[in-house]
């Protein structure tokens, strides 16, 4: 859903590193090198970022669509 605050295994704080990680990987940098530069050494913490999918962005789209429909419906009934 949204990036976990801490590594599941060791408890290191990783939530604050996600946005930088995602941005830099998107620009074409090597994911392993980005992790190294962020100071994420252990493989438990590395997999947290590597395997993460930010689904919350998609979930938010459903909410936005539902709101739009609600608006359209209320507009229709006003007519």
The residues that touch other proteins, with contacts defined as CB under 8 A, are: 1-7, 10-13, 15-16, 18-19, 42, 56-57, 59-60, 63-64, 67
For residue 74, count other CB atoms closer than 10 A to its CB: 9
- Identity of the residue, 5 or 31, whose beta carbon is nearer to other proteins in the bound complex: 5
- Identity of the residue, 62 or 79, whose beta carbon is nearer to other proteins in the bound complex: 62
Q: Could you give phi then psi for residue 13, rounded to 5 degrees? A: -70, 120
- From CA 15, how far away is CA 54, in angstroms rounded? 12
Least CB distance to other proteins at residue 14 (A): 9
């Amino acid at each position: 859903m949204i990036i976990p605050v801490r590594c599941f295994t060791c408890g290191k704080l990783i939530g604050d590193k996600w946005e930088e990680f995602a941005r830099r990987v998107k620009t074409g940098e090597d994911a392993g090198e980005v992790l190294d530069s962020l100071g994420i050494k252990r493989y438990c913490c590395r997999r947290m970022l590597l395997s993460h999918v930010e689904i919350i962005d998609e979930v938010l789209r459903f909410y936005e669509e539902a709101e739009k429909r609600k608006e359209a419906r209320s507009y229709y009934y006003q007519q």
